[in-house]
Amino acid sequence: MDPHLLRTFVEVAETGSFSAAAERLNFTQSAVSQQIAALESDLGTSLLTRRPVRLTEAGERLRRHAKILLVRLEAARADVTRTSAPPGRLTLGLTPLAWSAPVAAALTRIRAESARLATRLLVAPLDRIVTATATGALDLGLVDGFTAPSDPLRLPEPGDPRSLRVAECPAVVAVPSGHPLARRTSVDLADLADAYWIDAPGVTPFRRLPVDGLRAGLHYDGAESTVLTGLIAAGHGLAVLPEWLLTGRADLAAIPLGVPRLVHRVELLRAPGVVDPAGPASLLAALLAP
Amino acid sequence: MDPHLLRTFVEVAETGSFSAAAERLNFTQSAVSQQIAALESDLGTSLLTRRPVRLTEAGERLRRHAKILLVRLEAARADVTRTSAPPGRLTLGLTPLAWSAPVAAALTRIRAESARLATRLLVAPLDRIVTATATGALDLGLVDGFTAPSDPLRLPEPGDPRSLRVAECPAVVAVPSGHPLARRTSVDLADLADAYWIDAPGVTPFRRLPVDGLRAGLHYDGAESTVLTGLIAAGHGLAVLPEWLLTGRADLAAIPLGVPRLVHRVELLRAPGVVDPAGPASLLAALLAP
DNA sequence: TGCGTTTACGTTGTGCGTAAGGATT
DNA sequence: AATCCTTACGCACAACGTAAACGCA
């Protein structure tokens, strides 16, 4: 179970080809073949079918473990080799809906206080932010999700349990302002089982829809929240969204959620070893004290 | 960052000696020295001071990562090599206070239903149960802890987030029955800042005391809960305990906790790949449906 | 027949043990 | 002087590349 072997195994699993994996990793086909054979003989199990190259059940399990292990290995290296000197620039990553008013304000304050600190910003899906933060590619990651009030987010591996709460706001059902439900003061999702929903995994942090059993009338694959709100306003369907996204919009109504009780929550992830790259008083404080 | 190197590094870190580590791992001193040198040159950092052998700051960080990584590596192996055939025997691990009435009842039912299934039981501290379950040394692990009501437990790495809630009961402050507080219907921990506490990390799942700022008058290092309750009854101090531990005891009073609102919670951990070793209907169902 | 994986084999390099060297108490 | 880690050196095995063989479309 050498990480080297795991790395090529993951590559083979994802490309579906020994030769393609070899090319990516700058090996020969032969070497890849031998490495996979070594893994299989070590574990005493077949991991891949050949021709076509597909994962066996054991292989699929190993792939999941291996991806996590490789990230954590990188994370460990990043943590150990991190110099104690404060970095010259700050790299910050966000999921699309983690960018809210308090975060914007905090960032403004940070940049005003430490103008010398060059800042890089990246917006990407949850998984990318989580792994990039774990490996130290990002100094800080802001991620969002829906949970029960005051519950921590359940992050995908290798999410760091030391994440800090940054903001929490009510989760609402977004409907067009002319919608029959628009004046309701509260709805339960169960009452909306017959409605059509917009499934937008790139925007909202649900993998699919917030609750099983809801029908998606439209699947939106982008990450642009204005497109999603536009689709809702145009009557293509409903979605569960954080309340702040809808404030000030005349074309949309926000209906508070009754059951299940959900909030939209933003948490701050730190790269291993990062306490506060901009000094103890400024960055974390700015993000955490809105 | 070969796992082999990490393994010997951890061994050196824990024994504080190259030669002792070499002996444990069946290597020569020389090999260990070379391995550590290889790690240090790979990471570009000094990990250990020699003479005396002590961890540097980077070394301490690596040690923490390495311990987790090695467990997860073993866990991956256990998961992949696990046969789909149901095992002939069931190995169950518990933390001391995870053994409560509903668990006892569930176990009785399990053994009655599947009498052929040999059962092994292990009681050990939280960390041991968590790692043993993760690596597949245990099929199932029952762990306990205190959290806010309906919150999941925050388990030490490499705790599996797929843990299942088994039981939850109120957390109470245990006092001798003659104690001035014994008739109170509720207390806040803040009100008890002046009291003396018994610090019993082997019994209660707090690392130290439930809240920082409480003074420990006595430190009990064992894992026997009857000793702890006995100490409380004898007036040596107070402790936060699950309510069921005190029911029926005339010498102790249980005062419900006001702030912070805490419950004692038992969760079930499954070894990787274990769904229900005794068949879909029996074991998990018995544990989860009290 | 052709594409892609496996096997054979020669070469290179890594990693261990033996044994000598060096440093610290 | 004793103990413990490091370095030097030789050997063995593991790992890769080249090239030929094999097997499935």
Summarised one tens digit per residue, pLDDT across range A28-87 is: 999 999 999 999 999 988 999 887 889 988 899 999 999 999 999 998 998 888 776 566
Strand pairing report for B164-176 and A48-49: unpaired
| pLDDT at position A202 | 82
Q: Is the pLDDT of residue A279 over 60?
A: no
| pLDDT at position B115 | 58
CA distance linking residue A35 with residue A190, whole number of Å: 51
Average predicted confidence (pLDDT) for chain A: 83
The CATH H-level (homologous superfamily) assignment of domain A89-164+265-288 is Periplasmic binding protein-like II (3.40.190.10)
Quickly give A16 CA vs D19 C1' distance in Å.
Answer: 25
DSSP secondary structure, A194-228, as one string = TSEEEE-TTTSS-SS-SSTTPEEEEE-----HHHH
| pLDDT at position A280 | 40
Domain definitions of chain A by residue range: 3-82, 89-164+265-288, 167-262
Q: Residue A161 CB: number of other CB atoms within 10 A?
A: 12
Give the nucleotide at minimum CA-to-C1' distance from A17.
C4
Mutation site for A-interface testing, chosen from B80, B81, B261 by largest number of A Cβ within 10 Å: B80
Q: Is the pLDDT of residue A12 over 90?
A: yes
Longest pairwise C-alpha distance within chain B: 67
| pLDDT at position B87 | 62
Enumerate the β-bridge partners of residue B255.
B173
| pLDDT at position B14 | 93
Long-range contacts of B273-277 (CB under 8 A, 24+ apart): B273/A61, B273/B78, B273/B79, B273/B82, B273/B136, B274/B139, B274/B140, B277/B86, B277/B87, B277/B90, B277/B117, B277/B139, B277/B140
Taking CA–CA distances from A81, the nearest residue in chain B reads B43
Structure tokens at B157: 């790495």
Q: What is the pTM of this model?
A: 0.78
Contact yes or no for A146/A117 (Cβ under 8 A): no
Residues 6+ apart with CB under 8 A from A77: B1, B43
Among residues B11, B130, B106, which one has the least CA distance to residue B66?
A: B11
pLDDT in tens, B126-184: 989 999 998 888 888 899 988 888 778 888 877 777 788 888 889 899 998 888 877 77
Judged by a CB distance cut-off of 8 A, whether residue B79 touches chain A is yes
pLDDT band at A288 (very low <50, low <70, confident <90, very high): low
End-to-end CA distance of chain B: 46
Q: Which residue is nearest to nucleotide C23 (CA to C1')?
A: B51
User: What's the CATH code, domain B3-82?
Assistant: 1.10.10.10
| pLDDT at position A281 | 45
| pLDDT at position B211 | 64
Higher pLDDT, residue A10 or A52: A10
Taking a contact as any Cβ pair under 8 Å apart, which residues of chain B between 156 and 185 contact chain A? Answer: 161
A163 neighbourhood in chain B, CB within 8 Å: none
Domain A167-262 belongs to what topology? D-Maltodextrin-Binding Protein; domain 2 (3.40.190)
Percent of chain A with pLDDT over 90: 22
Q: What are the distances in angstroms from CA B54 to CA A56, A76, B9, B60, B182?
A: 45, 19, 12, 9, 49
Q: Do domains B3-82 and B167-262 have the same CATH topology?
A: no
Q: Is the pLDDT of residue A289 over 80?
A: no
Structure tokens at B239: 């402790």
CA distance linking residue A167 with residue A268, whole number of Å: 9
Contact yes or no for A68/A8 (Cβ under 8 A): no
Task: Tell me the mean pLDDT in the region A130-141.
Answer: 88
Instruction: Measure CB to CB from residue A44 to each of B43, B47, B81 and give the nearest one.
Output: B81
Taking CA–CA distances from B162, the nearest residue in chain A reads A154
**Contact state of A68 with B72 under an 8 Å Cβ cutoff:** yes
| pLDDT at position B3 | 95
Q: Where are the alpha helices (DSSP H) in chain A?
A: 3-15, 18-25, 29-43, 57-81, 101-113, 126-134, 225-233, 283-288
Structure tokens at B55: 């961890």
Q: Which helix (H) or strand (E) holds B136?
A: none
Low-confidence ranges of chain B (pLDDT < 70): 83-88, 110, 112-117, 207-213, 273, 275-290
Task: Tell me the mean pLDDT in the region A264-276.
Answer: 80
Quickly give B33 CA vs C16 C1' distance in Å.
Answer: 11
| pLDDT at position B280 | 39
Judged by a CB distance cut-off of 8 A, whether residue B80 touches chain A is yes
CA distance linking residue B169 with residue B243, whole number of Å: 7
Under the phi-then-psi rule, with left for phi > 0, alpha for psi from -120 to 50, and beta for the rest, what region is A199? Answer: beta
Q: Number of residue pairs across A and B with CB atoms under 8 Å?
A: 74
Taking a contact as any Cβ pair under 8 Å apart, which residues of chain A between 31 and 60 contact chain B? Answer: 43-45, 47, 58
